[in-house]
Amino acid sequence: MKLAEYCNTTTSYIGHIETGIKFPSMDMIEKMAEILRIEPYLFFKKRIEQDSGNNTENIYPKLPISMKNEINNEIDLSISKVIKEILKKY
């Protein structure tokens, strides 16, 4: 309930994210991570559980294509900015 309040959204929306019905935007992921004081990538990291001394992986659901595209675009923009800054120096 508090997470929804801090994110300025509804508890049902947070519930839909938790159950995989909806997928949050990049902005919402960043906002939730900031509130929870974690790095955003941790939402997508594989969880490893101990099972009688053996590691087994429970992988989070695969990202939707739209989210992959959005992430790739953000990476491309970031790389372009860094390259431009480097080129300005030389």
Render pLDDT for 7-49 as a digit per residue (tens, 0 to 9). 999 999 998 888 888 889 889 999 999 998 888 888 877 655 4
Position 43 scores a pLDDT of 81
pLDDT at 57: 40
Listed in sequence order, the residues at least 6 apart from 76 whose beta carbon sits closer than 8 Å to its beta carbon are none
**Does any domain span residue 20?**
yes
Supply the pLDDT for residue 46: 63
Domain count, the chain: 1
78 assigned to some structural domain: no
Q: Is residue 26 part of a domain?
A: yes
Domain-embedded: residue 58: no
pLDDT in tens, 53-76: 444 344 345 667 777 777 777 777
Position 16 in a domain: yes
Query: Which structural domain, as residue segments, surrounds residue 37?
Result: 1-45
In a domain, 29, yes or no: yes
Q: Residues 51, 61: contact at Cβ < 8 Å?
A: no
The predicted structure's pLDDT at residue 32? 92
The answer to whether residue 23 is domain-embedded is yes
Q: Is residue 36 part of a domain?
A: yes
**pLDDT confidence tier of residue 50, bands split at 50, 70 and 90:** very low
